[in-house]
Structure 1
């Protein structure tokens, strides 16, 4: 029988190492961006959001309302800052509203 090693690592450290070693971080960022958008924007905006995609450092948001798209375009910088703060990373550099 092999001996046990008493190296204690936290679950968080083990998961981070797994994500980094398997290069899964970008995929997780895509999922986290969608969740952050839904949490920050609320039901009013989410009802008109049809698609959210993160490609590189650009967030593409598909909206079904041209009026909402125009209104959100005035606050792109603030939205980008809020999303990056929610993600605790500087992932998004640009937002494109469609």
Structure 2
């Protein structure tokens, strides 16, 4: 059982410490990347998105529309930059559209 500290800390600091102690960053990054994709792409793209998976530093996005996949492939670098800026750290280095 963890030792209890008598000093007062904020909830955000306690949560950060909990995440770091239990090594949950990668799992949270997967969830946060999927949320960032949905927020940045909007309803138009989300309607054609089947799945968004982060494995290591590669984001795999499965789409229903080949036309949309081709259109998004032209802006891969911009999408990667926007997602990383939204998350506040470099999580995605490569984007693969399927």
Deviations 1:48-87 (A, max 9, x none): 0000000000000000000000000000000000000000
Alignment partner, residue 21 of structure 1: 21
The DSSP-based 3-state class of the residue aligned with 2:53 is strand
Computed over aligned residues only, the root mean square deviation of the Cα atoms, in angstroms, reads 1.0
Unaligned runs of 5+ in 2: none
Segments of 5+ residues of structure 1 without an aligned counterpart are: none
Distance 2:22 2:8 in 1: 22
Choose 1 or 2 for highest CA Rg.
1
Count of residues paired in the alignment: 94
Q: Provide the rounded CA distance (Å) in 1 between the counterparts of 2:37 and 2:93.
A: 15
Q: Does 1:76 align with 2:79?
A: no
In 1, the alpha carbon distance for the partners of 2:56 and 2:73 equals: 20
In 2: Cα distance, 1:55 partner to 1:74 partner: 22
Partner Cα separation in structure 1 for residue 77 and residue 61 of structure 2: 14
Cross-structure match for 2:40: 40
SS in 2 for 1:9: coil
Query: What secondary structure sits across from 2:51 in the alignment?
Result: strand
The 3-state SS of whatever aligns with 2:9 is coil
Q: Distance in 1 between matches of 2:75 and 2:62?
A: 16
